[in-house]
């Protein structure tokens, strides 16, 4: 017996399903296979770290998962929707509403206070101004920065700036939080703080995918997928969320 989506009873629904995904970059006569036949399933509610050295393909995989790039071969389904069949407008909508991005560079606008930075995705989505502010303030409160809502990025520590970036990623209530080297610019104390926040968000049911090359950062996740030469090298679990 399976669920309607084909999952065994008691198993969480698949949020991410990659089957035979390859990505080839072409420059004139040259072809580089950045991903080669990647099969990967991540269930709703998982906390997964994707690890690999520079040039392993993890950044390309992150771009595919985040709908920032499309696979050359294979299929990618996000919450059951076939990403490969989407046009640019549909991909943009998925990026804005279904995926929350957190990057190594905080990408905050220095001239805007924290709450204005957080509300930006809602502005792009056409949400009314009053609702945008309320949701931005609620997101800042969720990451422990309610008292810093009016502070500009230059008035915040690195760890606080990353918390603002996480609040911005959460404000649209996305299905997936995709964090690309989120602690790369932080000291050890701020790294611990941000990883604790990601773990807390996951404990509340958020699906978190963390891209990193650092062993201690990957250890914060409940599952580690290692990629090497564009292929999955090892995986400590395979869609094990209950």
- For the chain, give the mean pLDDT: 91
CB atoms within 10 A of CB 164: 26
Every domain of the chain and the residues it spans: 45-67+89-241
Give the whole-angstrom CA distance, residue 65 versus residue 94.
Answer: 11
Contact 142, 167 (CB under 8 A): yes
CA atoms within 13 A on the CB side of 31: 7
Task: State pLDDT tens for residues 167-206.
Answer: 999 999 998 999 999 999 899 999 999 999 999 999 999 9
Q: What is the pLDDT of residue 11?
A: 66
pTM for this predicted structure: 0.88
pLDDT tens digits for range 122-166:
988 889 999 999 999 999 999 999 999 999 999 999 999 999 999
pLDDT for the residue numbered 10: 59
Give the C-alpha separation, 5 to 60, whole Å: 28
Residue 58 in this model has a pLDDT that exceeds 80: yes
Name the CATH topology of 45-67+89-241.
Rossmann fold (3.40.50)
Contact in structure between 197 and 190 (CB atoms under 8 Å): no
pLDDT of residue 9: 55
Mean pLDDT of 104-125: 94
Which tokens belong to 164?
A: 């603002």
**DSSP secondary structure code for residue 138 in this structure:** H
Q: How confident is the model at residue 118 (pLDDT cuts 50, 70, 90)?
A: very high
């Amino acid at each position: 017996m399976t669920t309607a989506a084909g999952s065994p009873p008691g198993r969480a629904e698949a949020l991410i399903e990659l089957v035979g995904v390859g990505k080839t970059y072409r420059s004139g006569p040259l072809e580089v296979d950045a991903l080669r036949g990647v099969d990967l399933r991540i269930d709703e509610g998982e906390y997964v770290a994707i690890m690999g050295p520079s040039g392993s393909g993890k950044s390309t995989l992150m771009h595919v998962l985040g709908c920032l790039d499309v696979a050359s071969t294979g299929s990618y389904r996000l919450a059951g929707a076939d990403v490969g069949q989407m046009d640019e407008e549909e991909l943009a909508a998925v990026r804005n509403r279904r995926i929350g991005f957190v990057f190594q560079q905080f990408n905050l606008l220095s001239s805007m206070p924290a709450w204005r930075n957080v509300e930006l995705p809602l502005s792009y989505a056409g949400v009314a101004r009053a609702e945008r502010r309320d949701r931005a303030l609620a997101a800042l409160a969720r990451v422990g920065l309610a008292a810093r809502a009016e502070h500009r990025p230059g008035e915040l520590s690195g760890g606080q700036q990353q918390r603002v970036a996480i609040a911005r990623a959460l404000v649209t209530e996305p299905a997936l939080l995709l964090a690309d080297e989120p602690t790369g610019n932080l000291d050890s104390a701020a790294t611990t703080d941000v990883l604790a926040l990601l773990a807390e968000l996951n404990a509340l049911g958020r699906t978190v995918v963390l891209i990193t090359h650092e062993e201690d950062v990957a250890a914060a996740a409940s599952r580690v997928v290692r990629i090497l030469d564009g292929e999955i090298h090892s995986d400590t679990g395979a869609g094990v969320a209950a």
